[in-house]
Structure 1
């Protein structure tokens, strides 16, 4: 009986692979009878090979590969101009993100209730970035004193993955919640541990068919931990949210009003104003902020340590901005924009170490026919192999060239292009168009603040005889090595930033 059930399940799954999805080329199976779960295991271990192979064969046309939880329909970037005009009622990025992060089982499904988080980042956070540099720098100074080791004249080993996580979580908390909550160790634990356990959960769940996720999550410690941190967040934040709501209703003002939570309360509709849901949403938004900013900053530090000749060049650029705009603590958003060499280094580091090899996710809510006749069927999960696409338009893509984008910006009419936070049809780490990541400008400013302080105040080097630590890969996700070491040493007082 059991053998019959297994055989039936296998035959049904194979039928769906070959005949149930969009009729486009299938990549990733070694032969027609290979199980999707063997193919999924290979994708888990080496997603880059699957995606690069598919893109090499079908760089200008749709193709697909199979995962244990769904089939993924890959599209070339030539469709971006057409896709970016589609409404969420036709192609939903939110449903795709919730699905890709295992939605209900990781507590990420809160983003399906409304788009308050997206609107707040777009309408409030980004326009106020110029006023946020001072609180960001203030919190960074506090974090450096609290969380980095004292190393006057001595080389001290740190694990940057963990040290940078503390810096990023503190700065994000300052901007998202304001003082004094941003310095509450309970919140810092919630925001960082929730993020870690979401990724543990989805990496494990993605190894199995979707219909088993509920059963597996019941026995998966990380999913229970995620739920527990959501409960802790509500217990911590709900009383504060209610207090803020009362203060706003009474017209009370505070010097601590400029933070994401207050802005959410300002623009939330009555049905979006439930304190428990706002607390939940704050946790989810912290995940998005901490995850990408921390990883990018760590990768840049590793790359600077591996290519130390660029450190002097970047320091000279920082000194030039100080000469023009005053000491670092006086900088506004425009000062950070002038750091074109640092920005180029960040973008090249991200190209070699992207947070994910897939982006531009959408779930089709209805059938849609593209202008060339390609059919995107209802229910299809579409995405783009963003790293393969970007490398495909990059000369000598295997070469780590930190000034690559700096040189491009010297061209006529190119000064505002090729930046870390800008999106292009073939550079899709942050998406593209009106549904591109609304927090990317905040992330760029946060990362630059951290890097300027760390580059100017400390020297960095890899352990003797050790090259750059190898990244960790799981599915399409790429993580900096958590156990990697860097040595840091405080620079002489006269060469550090003035506080």
Structure 2
């Protein structure tokens, strides 16, 4: 009764206020109301340029402003993407972010876009925009393609030569970093200390990869660049000028870049001195084979100055150390979540070690043979637009549009795949064994419409095969030498999300126990 009286009183007051407004005030009120309605409704659609309207997904009501939707996406992206895929089915939709909106496309567009030239669909530009390059100094990701060409023309053609160098470094660092006693350990910290030097051996050479300052820089630059970018992406562009100066991680990024520039300057001078000595006809020893030396020999003068090459080396660590470490960590979590698969993988690894010795132990056994014969582990591992682009069905992608494919939601869609939610890490293994013509297919590192872990098409991750080899070497050695499990009473560490990027808990621990020699020999 009291509520009804209050509502009636409020209604009478509003009518009274409206009656007292002058005609000019009423006109002004109507005008602002109309503007609000246009803004709210207009922002629900993204014009495609060809007359089509792609709906914006996620608004809770007709009156929710876009800035609220963008703020909700920052910490609720995962559930928003899942809900969008469930509701929109095979239709495109837009997701609002503070940095830039994302056009989420159904998988039916994947094959049409995969072979578009870089001038039309530019993956590097989209990745760079996520890192806010004007504040993280990662403009080198788009200013040239030297860091991509070195992977295509140097690393991939000589893949297992460099994998052997990485394994040689792993032999050395293993005894220094791996726990000597049984107990609880931070797996992320251990993996970073393994991956950083073995990747740096290939990028910069033996001396630099054993320099503690560089090993630490390669780890910390990735962390600080992500922290800076993720913090900035929580705020609109116009505020970055102020916010960037308040982020401690950005100041550390600038410090890392100065160290990287000095390191590259020293290595460049050493390389130039070797070339000059050869030109003079002097007899000198064979120079170490590194990706940096190839870049110095094949890059333009502007690309090779230390102020450009230093950030470029940091960009390479960004794409290698972070992804390799987290892939290995998630694989270990999967195994601890499903311990019944430990014996399956360990049987393959132990029998291979008994037959061939460890990777690199016997000169007659190449690292290529070792990695290629880890078929079950391989199966376990496999578990931006530059110009206007017109697609066959009339959808037009405007220049500057960030596009994405919800591959995870597609893979777990029961309408697309039978038993899509069941944990079956041997799917690819069985597919390879299903017929002789499939023996070399369905391998980790291969791109496929059903697995976009490394991208797809002509812009898929160039260094993915080296990353897979690194993961295999590390995991094989871990399972061969250690028993690993969750800390008693604990389960899989929670994964955190900022926008569409996921982060694992860096303080999570695992139990590790050295396997006794008789346990290894009995397998």
Does 2:299 match 1:299? no
Whether the 8 Å contact between 1:98 and 1:108 is mirrored in structure 2 is yes
Match of 1:381 in 2: 402
CA-based RMSD? 2.4
Whether the 8 Å contact between 2:187 and 2:329 is mirrored in structure 1 is yes
Classify 1:255/1:452 alpha carbon distance in 2 versus 1 (closer, same or farther; 3 Å). farther
Classify 1:7/1:334 alpha carbon distance in 2 versus 1 (closer, same or farther; 3 Å). farther
- Counterparts of residues 32-51 of structure 1 (less than 5 Å): 32-51=62-81
Classify 1:203/1:12 alpha carbon distance in 2 versus 1 (closer, same or farther; 3 Å). farther
Which secondary structure state, in structure 1, belongs to the residue aligned with residue 477 of structure 2? helix
For normalisation by structure 1, the TM-score amounts to: 0.89
Whether the 8 Å contact between 2:66 and 2:96 is mirrored in structure 1 is yes
Whether the 8 Å contact between 2:262 and 2:306 is mirrored in structure 1 is no
Which secondary structure state, in structure 2, belongs to the residue aligned with residue 33 of structure 1? coil
Q: Distance in 2 between matches of 1:29 and 1:47?
A: 13
Which secondary structure state, in structure 2, belongs to the residue aligned with residue 162 of structure 1? helix
Classify 1:30/1:451 alpha carbon distance in 2 versus 1 (closer, same or farther; 3 Å). same
Q: Give the superposition deviation at 1:259.
A: 1.9
Classify 1:176/1:495 alpha carbon distance in 2 versus 1 (closer, same or farther; 3 Å). farther
Note the residue ranges of structure 1 that are not aligned, 5 or more in a row.
1-5, 349-361
For normalisation by structure 2, the TM-score amounts to: 0.85
Aligned length: 475
- Counterparts of residues 384-463 of structure 1 (less than 5 Å): 384-392=405-413, 393-412=416-435, 413-463=437-487
Which secondary structure state, in structure 1, belongs to the residue aligned with residue 438 of structure 2? coil
Does 2:217 match 1:193? no
Q: Give the superposition deviation at 1:323.
A: 5.5
Match of 1:371 in 2: 392
Whether the 8 Å contact between 2:150 and 2:295 is mirrored in structure 1 is yes
Does 2:43 match 1:17? yes
Deviant stretches of 4+, over 6 Å? 6-13
Whether the 8 Å contact between 1:21 and 1:71 is mirrored in structure 2 is no
Whether the 8 Å contact between 1:164 and 1:294 is mirrored in structure 2 is yes
Q: Distance in 1 between matches of 2:59 and 2:403?
A: 19
Classify 1:394/1:176 alpha carbon distance in 2 versus 1 (closer, same or farther; 3 Å). farther
Give deviations 1:279-309, integer Å, cap 9, x for gaps.
2100111011011000011111122222222
Match of 1:355 in 2: none
Match of 1:475 among 487, 490, 499: 499
Q: Point out the structure with max Rg over C-alpha.
A: 2
Classify 1:204/1:15 alpha carbon distance in 2 versus 1 (closer, same or farther; 3 Å). farther
User: Please, which moves more after superposition, 136-145 or 282-291?
Assistant: 136-145
Classify 1:461/1:232 alpha carbon distance in 2 versus 1 (closer, same or farther; 3 Å). same
Which secondary structure state, in structure 2, belongs to the residue aligned with residue 27 of structure 1? coil
Q: Give the superposition deviation at 1:11.
A: 8.1
Give deviations 1:376-435, integer Å, cap 9, x for gaps.
112221121221123234433332222222222222233223222111123212111121
